[in-house]
Amino acid sequence: MTSAPAAETSAPGGGTVDAFTAEVIRAGLMAITGEMKTNLMRTAYNQIIYEAEDFTVGLFDENGGTLSIGLGLPMFIRGLSDCVKAKIEHWGRGGIFPGDVLLTNDPEVMGSHLNHLIFTTPVFNDGELVAFSSSMAHWIDVGGVLGGVTQDIYSEGLQLPFVKIFERGEEKRELTALIRMNCRAPERAMGDLRAQLAAIRTGQRRLADLLARYGNAAFRSSVALLFDQSERRAVAAVESIPDGIYEAESYMDDDGVVVGKHIPIAVRVEVRCGEMTIDLSGCAPQVAGYFNSGPTAGRSAAEVAFKFVTTPTLYPINDGAFRPLRIVLPPGRIISATKPSAMRVWMTVPMTVVDTIFKALAPACPERVLAGHHADLISGVAFGFINPATGALHAGTSRGISLPGGGFGATSGSDGMSATVCLNDGDTHNTPVEAGEAKAPVVVIRRALRVDSGGPGRYRGGLGVVQEQETLVPALYESHVERTNCAPWGLLGGRPGMANRVGIVRADGTIERFRSGKVAPLRLEAGDRWLSEAGGAGGFYSPLERDPELVLADVRAGYVSPASAERDYGVVLRRQERGYEIDPRATVELRERLAAEERPAAEERPAAEERPAAEEGVER
Amino acid sequence: MRVAADIGGTFTDVAAYDETTGEILLSKTLSTPRALEQGVREGITRTTPDLTGIDSVIHGSTLVINAIIERQGARTALVTTKGFRDVYEIGRINRPDSFNPRFRKHRPLVPREMVYELDERVLADGTVRAPFDEAEARRLASLLVEEGVEAVAVVFLHAYRYPDHETRMAEILREASPDLYVSVSHELSREYREYERTSTTAANAYVGRRVSDYLASLQSGLRGDGFGGSLLIMQSNGGLTDLQNARRQCVQMMESGPAGGVVGTMALCELLDIDSAVSFDMGGTTAKSCVIRRGEPSFSPDYFVGGYNEGLVMRIPVLEIVEVGTGGGSIAWLDDGGGLHVGPRSSGAEPGPACYGRGGLEPTITDANVALGRLDPKRFLGGEMVLDPEAARAALRHRVVEPLGVDLERAASGMLEVATAQMANAVRGVTLQRGLDPRDFTLFAFGGGGPLHAAAVAKELSISTVVVPVSPGHFSAVGMLMADLRRDLAQTLFRRLASLPMAELEQEFSRLEHEGRGALERSGIATDRVVFERAADMRYVGQEHSVTVRLPASFDPDDDVGRKELKHLFDEAHEQRYSHSAEEQPADVVTLRLSAIGRLAKPVLAEIERGSATPPASSERGERSVVFPLSGATPARVLAREALLAGNLVEGPAVIEETASTTVVEPGDSLEVDRYGHLVIHLGARR
């Protein structure tokens, strides 16, 4: 415990609050956003909201600053606040009234695909506009073309500018009708609309209760105190990082249009006097294919990285914790794209941006960062099954089992977690094999950890997962998996993990591989299988420093092959009657030799390949 | 005589009900982690020296949950379907601790090198794609015995639908060594979701041997003391089971202690004719809450040992209890940013709060209560322990008053405000977050700290009535006396409702009822009667999550009519839970559920002597200064609970003291003693 700075704050309205009232209000804000979250999940019509948690709810101050957000997905950390601010600017505070519901899905404002509709309602107390309650949720369909790589926003569906869908409590029915007409599943769309309204109204009511109880002045000064507390913790964390300029680069495979043309990602982080500037100007210009996202997504990537590094377990997430952060992001980059760029798969690139920021900061604050991770949802799926009798295509939600889960990066003190959703996803679950098989005409052959996919290091990267599924009827397969070329990197001598990969195993045993993870719709026959191989993650520090006993344990558990133990870790194992044991002398010798020979080139080494060459198959 | 013994982390509570006098005798002894069995026997002897007169002993224990959390189980192997060795480790891949670079996943109880695959494969519809490989199974069994494995969990894909392969594997394992503790997934759960079933079965195998041995030796120990009745085990579902079953399904005991308090609340709701109640159970480290509506508790869709973020999931029926890390021992601390927090770290039993005078230097909620005059330092635990108020004040001064620059009274009352806000969130978790309005509920306060904080928590949620039952400090054990025998069965079906014949549905339920009745009969416990409750998990076609729908005892046998009835019930349940339904959308029947309940005779609570509105002089303990939230230091009347009579009325501010608890009546609130001696507090408006 440190001695705390000023515990009391004088309220703008004259009153004072103390740390206790602030803490009670903090607990209140968290409970409200928690209730908004369960409320939305309870009432949403579509599974993406209540199963994949593709939504965010939140409370914002009168300027749009975040008071508390209930996150579904971590990458929405900034989206709501930026949108609320844009709405305030559009209407002006004087143009917003009790009972108004402000709506938009303008991608330039909210940064992601058009399926994300953001609803906001003001919270008034004593005739004063004090706060906002807002929600974003992913609608199952907002029109636009089906299948293939879109190349502009107009092909992705309905765009809504800033509109009031309720004005002083009165619904604008013509607007609702317009939205309804543009959605392929109008019932579900209207259901989700009602769910989002219910969530923001719950937030509005509960926050109004809290305001009525404590008064606007005490509430504002409590919030000011909470922001200050968060800021102090973030500043203390930044101050522990040596001043300097830190840079790193990585790349994406391609944009799905010009397959094979890499997309560079470069970041520059400057730490100076308790302030951090994340400069994303070096990221590639916006691309033709649908991998773009708006400036909010780029800023979210910076904030997610900043939160990981400074206040990873501080809740609720509020704006105070981001005060020491400056973000430089000129328009027109792949993560600050302007109209009319396509954004349907907006979520992929920002994850790699976060990883690249960690990579830049690794020499400065190794104890606060992670090595690179698999950074993709691994969405290689059978998107439609074909009725063998009629030839009709059933494109529905039953795609077999999705989301394999890949490796998470090692840290400076611990191995990375295996089989985990990527950074974009948070509390998102995979499909149980027993559930997937009951719904779709598939048989899962295996769901297994990929041996040696975790990047070697003193701390090993997490392992990725391979899922192999056989279709029982003809089907159409497509994939937009990224990061199949740029393997998840290790840090400070740690080695990369295996990259993501997809493939087809035909019924006759032939294996088809692809130049990247982008596969245009492709027909599978009954008995064909598709492989989704999620990458592992990078290791931390040189694998030659890993405790040989831990390497042995990894070999015994089958996370690491004996060959990799020797080649990557320099640990020589002898096969005994009952498993392996370490040859200590040979290990010391080998490690000395490897340290002398290989360390300079360590970071350049490609990931070890899992399958023997014969199984690699033909590249398409 | 019926006796309930509840082993908790710190204390072993015993409650004994004497049918002839209607009296409930209580004892509280320190738990003896090294010799649990002896602790139970000692506690029982304290209330009932002669064990020959006891018909049944009901037992709840933290043994199972502790063995898992402390990783003190058997050397366990897992045998599963080829291709799926990693299901247990992969889990559900979710990452709730989303921004933490050092987040942890669940840690399997069986390491990967102890997970073995067997060539066999069944599909979702129950057809066999790859037959069971007998020869390989035998080789595997002898390998496991050779490796010195003590317990084996067997989980094959779709075994909920086609259990034969698991059954055969178990036979082969038992043939290989009769000493192996073998647990197969379909015996514990016949529901789909392979990871959840694996986690449950692995845990059962992991703790099975130890728990089974403990229960057997407890039984023989009690027999040696002259006990000739039946030993019944409290389960997480709020019901009892027999020893034989408990030894096979150890994981069902997981949350037996907290279940006791909920069962007690249910019984009181029936007795007092209360439709909707919420329990508030505050102990030393946590506060827990559970909802009861129309006599029924709610059940958790998911239950995790060790918390949601990194805990192990258990697919067992568990009462839905929401817990927050706020209790009497919760410590107040300041973070690096100057933010004040209370808990979740607790001073525990050792050293305990600063006022215990056992070396604790950090201020706890109990210390704040002492500093505010809400607890009498001389009458704590009926005077068995004298508290040191100066130590409490010193801890507050050093850790809160000085760093924050506030006065002592503000520091202590501020701590209670924070604790109240947190504990109110537990109640919100089971009400508002489930779409229920807490204002419709009566709050039942028990546990050592419940009655002390109930009024404040209730006011946070605009609840108007609080009930403090008799002996709130022993309420879990008392509640166990009120439990019925219960067996919950489930069967995953995965059928489109539109093509499900009603005759088949009836047949499935009859089979489950037959099984349930058989299980209750095999227990050898005489029940008043057996009742069945039917339910089905249903969903709209395309959904993954389902809703549990309560079903009547029978349907119209005509398929069209019966399906319509069923669909209508589902639409209604969906509407209630999710605020919308889709009459035109087709539905799936995912899982059938059956609860077989063997009703046991309940203790009849004795009525206490009736008095006038004015409490008798013998209850008066004078007056002391107590600090209340809004009124500050106020002289409050102090009363002894044991001397209060039915019909007594007490206007706040007042403090009612009893052996293991203290009830605070705030200014503006009024308290009434009902005919059983329950304290019913009518709350004034919140500030």
Nearest by CB to B99, which of A51, A307, A398?
A: A307
Confidence (pLDDT) at A532: 96
How does pLDDT run across B111-126, given as a tens digit for each residue?
Answer: 999 999 999 999 999 9
Q: Tell me the C-alpha distance between A487 and A262, whole Å.
A: 13
Q: Tell me the C-alpha distance between B384 and B371, whole Å.
A: 20
* Cβ-Cβ contacts under 8 Å, B340 against chain A: 7, 19-20, 22-23
Question: For residue A409, what is the nearest residue in chain B, using CA coordinates?
Answer: B101
Confidence (pLDDT) at B575: 81
Cβ within 8 Å, pair B340-A23 = yes
3-state secondary structure of A264: strand
Q: Which residue type sits at B29?
A: T
Confidence (pLDDT) at A384: 85
How does pLDDT run across B149-161, given as a tens digit for each residue?
Answer: 999 999 999 999 9
Poorest-pLDDT segment among A495-499, A510-514, A602-606, B456-460: A602-606
Q: How far is A443 from chain B (nearest CA, A)?
A: 8
Confidence (pLDDT) at A48: 74
Cβ within 8 Å, pair A4-B84 = no
Cβ within 8 Å, pair B542-A27 = no
Helix (H) or strand (E) holding A381: strand A380-386
Q: Which of A16, A24, A361, A428 should one mutate to test binding to chain B, selecting the residue with the greatest count of B CBs within 10 A?
A: A24
The CATH architecture assigned to B72-211 reads 3-Layer(aba) Sandwich (3.40)
* Cβ-Cβ contacts under 8 Å, A319 against chain B: none
Helix (H), strand (E), coil (C) string for B82-108 = CCCCCHHHHCCCCCCCCCCCCCCCCCC
Helix (H) or strand (E) holding A33: helix A19-43
Dihedral sign, CA of A311, A313, A316, A317? Answer: positive
Q: Which of B93, B341, B431 should one mutate to test binding to chain A, selecting the residue with the greatest count of A CBs within 10 A?
A: B93
Residue A568 pLDDT level (bands cut at 50, 70, 90): very high
Question: For residue A367, what is the nearest residue in chain B, using CA coordinates?
Answer: B101
**Domain residue ranges of chain B, discontinuous segments joined by +:** 2-68+212-255, 72-211, 256-479, 485-599, 617-682
Cβ within 8 Å, pair A226-B95 = no
Q: Is B192 on the interface with A (CB under 8 A)?
A: yes
What is the CATH topology of the domain spanning B2-68+212-255? Nucleotidyltransferase; domain 5 (3.30.420)
B57 pLDDT more than 70:
yes
Cβ within 8 Å, pair A47-B544 = yes
User: Taking a contact as any Cβ pair under 8 Å apart, which residues of chain B between 310 and 339 contact chain A?
Assistant: 333-339
Pairing of strands B654-658, B632-640: parallel
How does pLDDT run across B583-631, given as a tens digit for each residue?
Answer: 888 999 999 999 999 999 888 888 999 999 999 999 999 999 999 988 8
Q: How far is A6 from chain B (nearest CA, A)?
A: 7
* Cβ-Cβ contacts under 8 Å, A417 against chain B: 95, 103-105
Confidence (pLDDT) at A265: 98
| Contact call for residues A423 and A373 (beta carbons, < 8 A) | yes
- pLDDT: is A2 or B226 the higher one? B226
Q: Is A370 on the interface with B (CB under 8 A)?
A: yes
Q: Cis bond leading into B101, ω under 30°?
A: no
For the beta carbon of residue B253, count every other beta carbon within 10 angstroms: 26
Nearest by CB to B193, which of A308, A435, A468?
A: A435
What ipTM, to 2 d.p.? 0.93
Dihedral sign, CA of A229, A231, A233, A235? Answer: negative
Confidence (pLDDT) at A618: 47
> Looking at residues A315-339, what average pLDDT do you find?
96
Q: Is A305 on the interface with B (CB under 8 A)?
A: no
Confidence (pLDDT) at A611: 39
For the beta carbon of residue A429, count every other beta carbon within 10 angstroms: 18
Q: Is B362 on the interface with A (CB under 8 A)?
A: no
> Looking at residues A10-14, what average pLDDT do you find?
42
Cβ within 8 Å, pair A232-B337 = yes
How does pLDDT run across B331-378, given as a tens digit for each residue?
Answer: 999 998 889 999 999 987 778 899 999 999 999 999 999 999 999 999
Rg of chain A in Å (alpha carbons): 26
Q: Tell me the C-alpha distance between A573 and B184, whole Å.
A: 36
Nearest by CB to B433, which of A35, A47, A71?
A: A35
Q: Tell me the C-alpha distance between B530 and B532, whole Å.
A: 7
Confidence (pLDDT) at A15: 45
Confidence (pLDDT) at A130: 98
How does pLDDT run across A234-284, given as a tens digit for each residue?
Answer: 999 999 999 999 999 999 999 999 988 999 999 999 999 999 999 999 999
| Contact call for residues A477 and A383 (beta carbons, < 8 A) | yes
Confidence (pLDDT) at B349: 73
- pLDDT: is A402 or A11 the higher one? A402
CATH code, B256-479? 3.30.420.40
* Cβ-Cβ contacts under 8 Å, A16 against chain B: none
Reading the block at residue B451, the tokens are 């009655």
How does pLDDT run across B63-106, given as a tens digit for each residue?
Answer: 899 899 999 999 999 999 999 999 999 999 999 999 999 999 99
How does pLDDT run across A134-154, given as a tens digit for each residue?
Answer: 999 999 889 998 878 999 999
Chains A, B: CB contacts within 8 A come to 236
3-state secondary structure of A251: strand
Q: Tell me the C-alpha distance between B404 and B398, whole Å.
A: 10
> Looking at residues B408-414, what average pLDDT do you find?
95
A600 pLDDT more than 70:
no
For the beta carbon of residue B501, count every other beta carbon within 10 angstroms: 13
Confidence (pLDDT) at B257: 84
What pTM was estimated for this model as a whole?
Answer: 0.93
The reply to whether domains B256-479 and B485-599 share a CATH topology is: no
Q: How far is A261 from chain B (nearest CA, A)?
A: 31
**Domain residue ranges of chain A, discontinuous segments joined by +:** 9-232, 370-620
> Looking at residues A395-424, what average pLDDT do you find?
90
Q: Is B439 on the interface with A (CB under 8 A)?
A: no
B457 pLDDT more than 60:
yes
Confidence (pLDDT) at B660: 84
Cβ within 8 Å, pair A229-B338 = yes
Q: Is B91 on the interface with A (CB under 8 A)?
A: yes
Cβ within 8 Å, pair A27-B418 = yes
Return the axis-axis angle of helices A216-239 and A19-43, rounded to nearest 10°.
90
Confidence (pLDDT) at A191: 85
Residue A407 pLDDT level (bands cut at 50, 70, 90): very high
**% of residues, chain A, pLDDT over 90:** 79
How does pLDDT run across B220-231, given as a tens digit for each residue?
Answer: 999 999 999 999
Confidence (pLDDT) at A614: 37
If you average pLDDT over every residue of chain B, what do you get? Answer: 93
**% of residues, chain B, pLDDT over 90:** 81
Q: Where are the beta strands (DSSP E) in B459-617?
A: 465-468, 485-496, 529-540, 547-551, 587-599
Residue A13 pLDDT level (bands cut at 50, 70, 90): very low
Residue A620 pLDDT level (bands cut at 50, 70, 90): very low
Cβ within 8 Å, pair B405-A8 = yes
How does pLDDT run across A463-498, given as a tens digit for each residue?
Answer: 999 999 999 999 999 999 999 999 999 999 999 999
> Looking at residues A74-91, what average pLDDT do you find?
95
**In the block, residue with structure tokens 């210390």:** B367
Confidence (pLDDT) at A612: 38
Q: Tell me the C-alpha distance between B421 and A297, whole Å.
A: 35
Query: In sequence order, which residues have a C-beta less than 8 Å from that of residue A581 and are 6 or more positions away?
Result: A552, A573, A574
A604 pLDDT more than 80:
no
**% of residues, chain A, pLDDT over 70:** 93
Reading the block at residue A146, the tokens are 């089906």
Poorest-pLDDT segment among A93-107, A217-231, B538-552: B538-552
Confidence (pLDDT) at A598: 67
Poorest-pLDDT segment among A3-7, B413-417, B431-435, B673-677: A3-7
Q: Tell me the C-alpha distance between B559 and B565, whole Å.
A: 10
User: CB-based burial of residue A311 (10 Å sphere; 0-12 exposed, 13-18 middle, 19+ buried)?
Assistant: buried
The CATH architecture assigned to B485-599 reads 2-Layer Sandwich (3.30)
B133 pLDDT more than 90:
yes
- pLDDT: is B255 or B646 the higher one? B646
* Cβ-Cβ contacts under 8 Å, A35 against chain B: 428, 432-433
Confidence (pLDDT) at A147: 77
Confidence (pLDDT) at A118: 97
A298 pLDDT more than 70:
yes
**% of residues, chain B, pLDDT over 70:** 99
